Amino acid sequence: MGGFFGVASRTDCVSDVFYGTDYHSHLGTRRGGMVTTSDTGFKRSIHDISNSPFRTKFEDELPRHAGNLGLGVISDYEDQPLLIRSHHGVYALVTVGRVNNLDRLVRDALTRRGTHLSETKGTEENPTEVVATLINQQDSLLDGIRWAQRAIHGSCSLLLLTPDAIYAARDRLGRTPTVIGRKDGAFCVALESSALPNLGYEPVRDLGPGEIVRVTPDGVEVLEPPGDHLQICSFLWIYYGYPASSYEGINTESARNRCGQALARNHDVEADWVAGIPDSGIGHAIGYATEAGIPYRRPFVKYTPTWPRSFMPQEQRVRDLVASMKLIPIRDLIDGKRLLFCEDSIVRGTQLRDIIRRTFDCGARQVHMRPACPPLMHGCPYLNFSRSKSELDLAARRAVKELEGDASSRLDEYADASSDRYARMVQFIGQQLGLTTLRYQTLPDMVAAIGLPREKLCTYCWNGEALFEEV
């Protein structure tokens, strides 16, 4: 994924940019960056944050930053922010999203003599530099951003810093959120609204899909009004959004509580405790427990002092180890008990199977699992939050393969919770995971729990529907 935070202030913005970016740390594990601009020009820092928190890496450099305008970014892949000089002058750029037609855009750009990409690492282009190239193909920054939004297949939200202002653009269909905040003498732009309250910002409003604004210490000017169609990622509420954030006015923790409540309304088993798989499962479990009238307990606690981050290393083997090490079981709350767990979703199922096995090893009598969303049937083509090598790794698709001999057969039917095939698939997955019972949330219940009209939510992962765009 990735996240960004920008500030336009009447006073020095460095501290706000630093802490505001840090509050996006759960969205990326590889690179962090900051840029500020003042009379003496732009000052940029980029660091590897794969081994050490953002704050540790950047705090020594804060004295070298100064100015009233600045950006920060957490990135899972490329170096950001870039400092670009073009016929638009000098600007800094950060992006969040996924460019599916990167090769084509590079090829098109480089046919123009004189154009180059220099942020190349070995053989891979820096997608943010490619976005800059698109912006530079037009006469004005605004036209350039518009053109980039049109040319990119996938999604691209961005912040662009000039010596005078921050240009903020939400991706064309609003797949990722972008929120504006305000306090006395300053405006901020963030992906996560949870970055606002501790820095004193009040949320003003979310940008609409494809909206482009120009932010200065004096206000927010709309340069391009929002488009008609919203396709915000449902998974923000289910899994990776921060509990304290709201998107389209809907708070994540509350939506998770409602998800759990919805699951509980279909409650059909007896259990001693309801519990959540940390971190995202907790909000779901709390809602479930309340609704079902079963005590909420914590049979597993996450060892946050040293396994702090929600997002995982890219290498699967290390991800599994980390996942296993970070959760510590509490035998006293497990032994002899019937446990019902809420989980955000089942992706590959590998880590979950390990947790279930350990739960039984600690003496559990029954383990029930209630994922907060339907079975994942498709990889996400719009965002970069997991670079799974193959969507055939998905637990549901492996079940389909086992049952049909072909992992892509009759997917629509398998995605239909009222079908026999769906029932057999769920049964198969539950057996693979060693569960006592497994019951997924239905798509309508999930949509209702989030609370947005269904046509505004992207549900591609579950039903493969892409309302307004060809994949």
Touching a copy of itself, residues 294-353 (CB under 8 A): 295-298, 301-306, 308-310, 324-325, 327-333
| Residue for token pair 């698709």 | 397
Pick from 46, 132, 380, 411: which binds a copy of itself (CB under 8 A)? 132
Element (H or E) spanning 239, and its range?
none
CB 231 within 8 A of CB 195: no
**Long-range contacts (CB closer than 8 Å, 24 or more residues apart) made by 87-92:** 87/136, 88/135, 88/136, 88/140, 88/141, 88/144, 88/162, 89/162, 89/163, 90/41, 90/42, 90/162, 90/163, 91/141, 91/160, 91/161, 91/162, 92/35, 92/37, 92/42, 92/44, 92/160, 92/161
346: its two tokens:
């089942």
Among 17, 69, 96, 106, contact with a copy of itself (rule: CB under 8 A): 106
- How far apart, in whole angstroms, are the C-alpha atoms of residue 102 and residue 110? 12
Q: Site for a copy of itself (CB under 8 A): which residue of 44, 370, 398, 421? A: 44
Name which position in 235, 240, 242, 462 contacts a copy of itself (CB under 8 A): 242
Cβ distance to a copy of itself smaller for residue 132 or 347: 132
Please, which of residues 445-464 interact with a copy of itself by CB under 8 A?
Answer: none
Measured from the CB of residue 216, what is the shortest distance to a copy of itself in angstroms? Answer: 20
Cis peptide before 279 (omega within 30 of 0): yes
Candidates 37-45, 231-239, 405-413, 414-422; binding stretch for a copy of itself (CB under 8 A) = 37-45
What is d(CA 104, CA 126) in angstroms, rounded to the nearest whole number?
14
For residues 335 and 455, which CB has a smaller minimum distance to a copy of itself in the complex? 335
Between 191 and 461, CB nearer to a copy of itself: 191
Q: Which two tokens stand for residue 149?
A: 């939004």
Which 68-97 positions form the footprint of a copy of itself (CB under 8 A)? 82-87, 90
CB of 22 to a copy of itself, least distance (A): 5
Collapsed DSSP state (helix, strand, coil) of residue 18: helix
Is residue 117 involved in binding a copy of itself (CB under 8 A)?
A: yes
- Binding residues for a copy of itself, total number by CB under 8 A: 88
Nearer to a copy of itself (CB atom), residue 177 or residue 283: 283
Of 304, 256, 298, 260, nearest in space to 280 by CA: 256
Site for a copy of itself in 265-304 (CB under 8 A): 279, 282-283, 286, 289-290, 295-298, 301-304
Residues 186-205 that bind a copy of itself (CB under 8 A): 194, 197-198
